[in-house]
């Protein structure tokens, strides 16, 4: 079969998460059948699901948070009752009196002088790229044990990172990340959002990435994490029993974002009246609290007592008062709206092909979305089958997440601890599952090719070079990453590097690794 | 660049050790308490990138030197005169501390020295330098580690010392080692950044612009924008040496350590008495001074060996720099060194005498130098040195009398 390394780069980088190093043969396989290499994953919808030992369901996790919060509250109340106990006193250190010239003393001093400027949130081991690098410095005080929320977040993150590092092409993982960002929540909203962030993606996104848009939409908007993130559990129908009793009413947050960010898009043909109407329609969509009066704590429930009674009109169509079914019918209708098809197709092409998406390709994807009633696998397949996606130059910038994952894949380092990734994602402005707003992380090159971001990427690449450069042959890695699609300049730059460490840093920063 | 101020401005900078690493052996050999009361220490400093030996210890007395090294040649006079070590060799003026040690007979230079490697690849050259094998491709263990294995097994003197980024190949192997490096995110060094900007300039102008701006921002934030390139590296070298010396000075501290400093690949604008190489040499000089002061009384029994993978061309290239060459220098410093000497079987710089018509010809095997130090400091036998530490090196006899 003909080998086309340039097409292999498109397959692996534009659609996937980059070639894996070692014995994977990814570049060779992708070169011999680029489209087939990408599409192979689409034939395995169950492969998109993520199950790992210890990962729990949303209700289980919600209950864990409730129990944790109760425990903290009880401890605080007990402490208040007893009168605040003295803080545990730090070990008495009198540096001026220290005479014993021992190694540990020296190490402590050095660590004190030199290590206090590390970035925030370097909890636990910061060096997952180097799991063999042993324990954190003995001189540092033992870190606080992680609570159940932090532990869960790290376990969910690790499962996702490991999947992304190990998966063959990575096209479906890229789709997961795309949809997860499209329907983003933010872990920084609060304890429930943080503990649910991973479960939200596993439960509401992954099962539908190769399924139907309308199913994903329903799963997302009924997921406790989304209801919490966009405040719908607080929204009460003004004329509902709860609204009357508590003299409270609508919160439009979720309804607005459903239309503006999740489906129709700004200018998609909806009015403020439609926003208010959808807000009324989805009143009562909430999750059961710690008391479990409405259902299993932490699970989605429809609370009829909070639901605004009566028929409601949305986008010119009237929905009869059918309770939960009223909202589900409204969502289904929005999902197949032409504006939704256009919005999704545009975003999809912008993500995978170019910041300025080719209009003809957008139109074809929009049409297939409409024709198949939002079949996301059909849309992904059409993208891979299109000529534009293979002809367009690789001008998109890898996001920080894609950059770190691609580096780990090339170096064949399966993370055993998420710390390295979480810390560097924070530094690079893409904290995992924690965008600044409900519009998610930006998806244009300009956002990620910013001056400070590039400098930080270089620092991180240099760090990886320093840690791992000893044990690799940079030219072998270039073969895995790009082979004869690598530019002469990149090859020469790596060959002429003054050390393996420097060569690895330069390889990871090369346009072949940064662009997709 | 002021470190304290820097910390306030950008917390992530922390300690800047992007270009330096350190590892140490944590076992205290029993013989260290032997009858003569010596407690020998050995520090190996690897200069990665190939040091220009002819610019560091210049053969000013060689009639061909000035012509070959051209615009970057050192001179005995002028605004920045080189420091005469004897009537023939002169030390780079950026190294006053080493000059002082040399005058006190605690520092020595070995010139026209090279490993057995004769090609010009950094990667392979560093493998040979650090592995101690006669050729490249052997990267499982380093000569310093195998020397440790040959020593009598002592008691473990430390535990739980922080582990640094990586152990240099020279110290990798069966004998257990500990490492140390600060945990802060190290910054990429200026040389790496410049190489990347250059690549982007050819292949990706948008990224070239972004990265250049990012580097400028970084400089401005650290108040470093007025200082010439190399400031980072100088500080890094001093700081890693200070930390390493402190650990090694402890009663139960490691006796043997290896460090690597990067950035010596001076293909362009190498500079003469001032400039890029001068800054790096100033950093190395400062690092040696840090070892001297940090080791205190232990300095008396210490030898620091400074070595690089190969040298650079005798003649400067078209960009006021030097390309990959062959022979170069090794430096010894420390209270235990029988110093005040430049040890060289000088091959001369006439065209006919240059290796392949371009490089300083090697007349001394670097393995002889290191074997001499290991023998004098730790009593390793000729046979162990020739078979285990530096396999197949019987022809390179240990140099005698390097340690006082």
User: Do A107 and B189 lie within an 8 Å CB cutoff?
Assistant: no
Question: Of A465, A449, A460, A466, whose CA–CA distance to A425 is shortest?
Answer: A460
Choice between B339 and A82, residue whose per-residue pLDDT is larger? B339
* Any A CB within 8 A of B225 CB: no
Pick the range with the lowest mean pLDDT from A193-197, A258-262, A453-457, B391-395.
A453-457
Q: B2 to chain A: which residues are within 8 Å by CB?
A: none
User: Do B195 and A490 lie within an 8 Å CB cutoff?
Assistant: no
* Any A CB within 8 A of B176 CB: no
Say how far apart CA B399 and CA B389 lie, in whole Å: 15
Residue among B172, B216, B253 whose CB faces A103 most closely: B253
ipTM of the complex: 0.84
Q: What is the mean pLDDT of chain A?
A: 89
> Parallel, antiparallel, or unpaired: how do β-strands B41-48 and B256-262 relate?
parallel
User: Do B184 and A115 lie within an 8 Å CB cutoff?
Assistant: yes
pTM of the model: 0.75
Say how far apart CA A438 and CA A347 lie, in whole Å: 15
Q: Which chain A residue lies closest to B210 (C-alpha atoms)?
A: A451
Contact B262, B308 (CB under 8 A): no
User: Do A459 and B166 lie within an 8 Å CB cutoff?
Assistant: no
Q: Which chain B residue lies closest to A491 (C-alpha atoms)?
A: B199
User: Do B168 and A470 lie within an 8 Å CB cutoff?
Assistant: yes
* Any A CB within 8 A of B191 CB: yes
User: Do A106 and B169 lie within an 8 Å CB cutoff?
Assistant: no
Residue among B15, B187, B253 whose CB faces A462 most closely: B187
Phi/psi of residue B318, nearest 5 degrees: -80, 0
Contact A261, A276 (CB under 8 A): no
Contact B90, B323 (CB under 8 A): no
Letter string b/e over residues A3-32, b meaning 16 or more CB atoms within 10 A of that residue's CB: ebbebbbbbbbbbbbbbbbeebebbbbbbb
Output the DSSP codes for A204-268: IIGGGTTSBHHHHHHHHHTSHHHHHHTTGGG---TTSHHHHHHT-----HHHHHIIIIISS-TTS
User: Do B161 and A122 lie within an 8 Å CB cutoff?
Assistant: no
pLDDT band at B383 (very low <50, low <70, confident <90, very high): very high
User: Do A115 and B218 lie within an 8 Å CB cutoff?
Assistant: no
Q: A110 to chain B: which residues are within 8 Å by CB?
A: 180, 182, 243, 246-247
Residue B92, pLDDT score: 98
B contact test, residue of A99, A102, A107 with most B CBs within 10 A: A107
Residue A325, pLDDT score: 98
Say how far apart CA B51 and CA B48 lie, in whole Å: 8
* Any A CB within 8 A of B249 CB: yes
Q: Which chain B residue lies closest to A123 (C-alpha atoms)?
A: B183
Residue B312, pLDDT score: 95
* B128 CA: distance to closest CA in chain A (Å): 13
Residue among A104, A499, A511 whose CB faces B207 most closely: A511
Query: Is pLDDT at B182 greater than 80 in this prediction?
Result: no
Query: Is pLDDT at A1 greater than 80 in this prediction?
Result: no
Choice between B24 and A275, residue whose per-residue pLDDT is larger? A275
B contact test, residue of A100, A103, A426 with most B CBs within 10 A: A103
Query: Is pLDDT at B79 greater than 80 in this prediction?
Result: yes
* Any A CB within 8 A of B201 CB: no
Question: Of B218, B237, B260, whose CA–CA distance to B47 is shortest?
Answer: B260
Query: Is pLDDT at A125 greater than 80 in this prediction?
Result: no
pLDDT band at B20 (very low <50, low <70, confident <90, very high): very low
Residue A128, pLDDT score: 36
Pick the range with the lowest mean pLDDT from A327-331, B199-203, B236-240.
B236-240
């Amino acid at each position: 079969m003909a080998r086309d390394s340039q097409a292999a780069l498109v397959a692996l980088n534009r659609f996937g998460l980059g070639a894996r190093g070692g014995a994977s043969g990814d570049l060779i396989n992708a070169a011999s059948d680029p489209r087939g290499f990408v599409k192979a994953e689409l034939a395995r919808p169950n492969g998109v699901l993520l199950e790992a030992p210890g990962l729990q369901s949303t209700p289980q996790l919600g209950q864990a948070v409730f129990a944790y919060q109760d425990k903290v509250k009880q401890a605080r109340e007990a402490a208040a009752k007893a009168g605040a106990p003295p803080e545990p006193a730090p070990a008495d250190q009198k540096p001026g009196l220290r005479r014993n010239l021992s190694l540990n003393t020296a190490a402590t001093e050095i660590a004190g002088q030199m290590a206090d400027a590390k970035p925030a949130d370097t909890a636990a081991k910061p060096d997952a790229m180097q799991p063999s690098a042993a324990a954190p410095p003995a001189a540092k005080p033992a870190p606080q044990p992680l609570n159940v929320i932090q532990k869960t977040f790290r376990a969910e993150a690790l499962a996702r990172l490991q999947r992304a590092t190990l998966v063959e092409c990575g096209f479906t993982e890229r789709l997961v990340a795309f949809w997860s960002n499209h329907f983003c929540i933010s872990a920084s909203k609060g304890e429930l959002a943080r503990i649910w962030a991973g479960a939200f993606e596993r439960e509401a996104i992954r099962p539908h990435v190769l399924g139907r848009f309308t199913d994903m939409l329903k799963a997302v908007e009924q997921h406790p994490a989304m209801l919490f993130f966009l405040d719908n559990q607080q929204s009460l129908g003004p004329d509902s029993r709860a609204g009357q009793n508590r003299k409270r009413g609508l919160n439009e947050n979720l309804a607005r974002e459903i239309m503006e960010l999740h489906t129709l898009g700004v200018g998609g043909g909806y009015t403020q009246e439609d926003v208010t109407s959808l807000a009324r329609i989805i009143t009562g969509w909430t999750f059961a609290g710690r008391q479990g009066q409405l259902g299993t704590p932490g699970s989605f429930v429809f609370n009829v007592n909070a639901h605004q009674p009566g028929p409601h009109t949305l986008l010119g169509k009237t929905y009869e008062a059918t309770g939960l079914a009223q909202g589900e019918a409204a969502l289904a209708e929005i999902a197949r709206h032409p504006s939704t098809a256009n919005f999704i197709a545009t975003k999809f092409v912008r993500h995978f092909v170019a910041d300025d998406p080719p209009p003809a390709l957008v139109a074809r994807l929009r049409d297939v979305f409409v024709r198949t009633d939002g079949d996301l696998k059909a849309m992904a397949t059409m993208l891979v089958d299109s000529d534009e996606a293979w002809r367009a130059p690789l001008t998109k910038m890898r996001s920080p997440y894609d950059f770190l994952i691609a580096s780990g894949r090339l170096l064949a380092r399966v993370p055993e601890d998420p710390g390295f990734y979480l810390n560097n994602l924070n530094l690079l402005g893409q904290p995992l599952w924690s965008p600044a707003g409900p519009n998610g992380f930006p998806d244009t090159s300009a956002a990620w090719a910013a001056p400070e971001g590039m400098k930080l990427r270089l620092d991180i690449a240099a760090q990886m070079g320093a840690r791992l450069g000893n044990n690799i042959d940079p030219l072998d890695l270039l073969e895995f990453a790009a082979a004869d699609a690598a530019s002469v300049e990149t090859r020469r730059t790596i060959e002429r590097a003054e050390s393996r460490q420097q060569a690895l840093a330069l390889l990871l920063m090369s346009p072949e690794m940064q662009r997709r | 660049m002021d470190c304290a101020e820097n910390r306030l401005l950008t917390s992530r900078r922390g300690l800047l050790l992007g270009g330096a690493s350190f590892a140490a052996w944590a076992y205290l050999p029993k013989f260290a308490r032997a009858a003569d009361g010596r407690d020998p220490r050995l520090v190996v400093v690897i200069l990665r990138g190939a040091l220009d030996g002819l610019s560091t210890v210049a053969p000013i007395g060689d009639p061909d030197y000035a012509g070959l090294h051209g615009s970057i040649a050192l001179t005995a006079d002028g605004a920045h005169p080189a420091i005469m070590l004897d009537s023939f060799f002169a030390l780079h003026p950026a190294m006053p501390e080493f000059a002082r040690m040399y005058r006190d007979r605690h520092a020595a230079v070995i010139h026209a020295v090279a490993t057995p490697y004769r090609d010009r690849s950094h990667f392979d050259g560093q493998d040979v330098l650090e592995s101690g094998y006669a050729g490249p491709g052997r990267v499982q263990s380093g000569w310093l580690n195998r020397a440790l294995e040959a020593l009598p097994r002592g008691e473990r003197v430390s535990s739980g010392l922080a582990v640094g980024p990586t152990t240099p190949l020279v110290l990798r192997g069966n004998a257990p080692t500990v490492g140390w490096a600060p945990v802060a995110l190290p910054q990429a060094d200026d040389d790496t950044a410049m190489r990347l900007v250059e690549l982007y300039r050819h292949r990706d102008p948008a990224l070239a612009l972004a990265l250049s701006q990012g580097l400028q921002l970084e400089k401005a934030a650290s108040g470093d924008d007025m200082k010439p390139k190399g400031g980072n590296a100088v500080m890094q070298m001093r700081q890693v040496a200070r930390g390493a010396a402190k650990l090694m000075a402890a009663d139960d501290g490691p006796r043997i350590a290896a460090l690597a400093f990067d950035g010596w690949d001076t293909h362009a604008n190498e500079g003469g008495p001032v400039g890029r190489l001068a800054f790096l040499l100033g950093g190395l000089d400062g690092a040696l001074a840090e070892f001297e002061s940090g080791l205190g009384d232990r300095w008396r029994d210490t030898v620091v060996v400074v070595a690089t993978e190969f040298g650079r061309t005798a003649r400067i290239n078209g960009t006021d720099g030097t390309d990959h060459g062959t022979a170069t220098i090794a430096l010894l410093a420390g209270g235990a060194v029988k110093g005040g000497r430049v040890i060289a079987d000088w091959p001369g710089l006439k065209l006919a005498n240059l290796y392949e018509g371009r490089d300083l010809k090697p007349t001394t095997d670097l393995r002889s130098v290191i074997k001499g130090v290991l023998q004098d400091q730790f009593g390793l036998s000729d046979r162990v040195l020739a078979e285990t530490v530096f396999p197949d090196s019987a022809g390179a006899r240990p140099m005698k009398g390097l340690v006082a």
